[in-house]
Amino acid sequence: MQSETKPHILLIDGMALLFRSFFATSAMGHYFPNAAGTPTNGVQGFARHTMTAMSIFKPTHMAVCWDMGAHTFRNELFDGYKAHRPAPAPELVPQFDMARTVSETIGWKNYGIPGMEADDLIGSIIETWTDKAEITVVTGDKDLLQLLRPGVHIALVKKGYAIYDLYTDERFVDEYGISPIQFIETKAFTGDASDGYPGVKGIGPKTALKLIKEYGSVEGVVESLHELTPAIRKKITENMDMLLLSRKLAEIHCSLEMDEPLEELEIPVYDSRIRELIEKEGYTMITKQADSLYLN
């Protein structure tokens, strides 16, 4: 995976790992409260996930990207964007800040920009370092598959801490028959139920993929409406505004300035000072994980 000459950057979707870790343990009633009684299950799971990913993918550099609140520029485009999602569990709420603090304590480079999603930061880092570094993204979000290109791998968390569904751009093309960037075009038609935008009602993944294979883009489909069956043409015409809006919502924003020197993303040295700071906060599972990875 790692080039002999290029650095290898590991990008962690911090919120995705935090949520995944929280729900994996809270479902069994395990919150691992600290001395103050504050739950730590999501925080500790996030850090353990990240450390395991480092041991598997062996990066030379890394960064963790975070969402900074629920409101983003996509809410300005569409009021319904993620609006239907329930409020986070009260046991999770304090862990948002705690997770980032732990990440900073360990020494990992952290990124978060108000109004932007972690996806947008990851996309912009990829845009910045394409051709200059190998990049592996750890996430649970298939939306990031649109970022695939030569030298970029998307590792979708599959099971536990160590099993990933690893995508390359070649694998994506083999499976879908379109380029990764065209994944945006298919989502414009299908929408995204988890993000709360509908796309074109009545057009599912198979039809969307067929349309993009044939016409290349939303624009290409719209220009060729006269060639479509009356039923599909009617669906698109009746939902045209939402189709065009969904196209905007589906696209990851990749033009943020993320041009810090590569040295800022170097892997930190895990030493006794950092261990003591983590242990002092009651994060015993993190220290155990770190000890097994770094001290053995």
* Mean per-residue pLDDT of the chain: 94
Question: Domains in the chain, start-ordered, CATH in brackets?
Answer: 8-174+256-286 (3.40.50.1010), 178-250 (1.10.150.20)
Inter-CA distances, 113 with 35, 36, 86, 121, 248, Å: 31, 30, 23, 8, 19
Contacts of residue 1, defined as CB under 8 A and 6 or more positions apart, other chains included, come to 8, 57, 58, 134, 136, 153
Give the model's pLDDT for residue 16: 95
pTM for the complete prediction? 0.94
Q: Convert the pLDDT of each residue in 43-73 to its tens digit.
A: 999 999 999 999 999 999 999 999 998 788 8
**What is the structure's pLDDT at 295?**
57
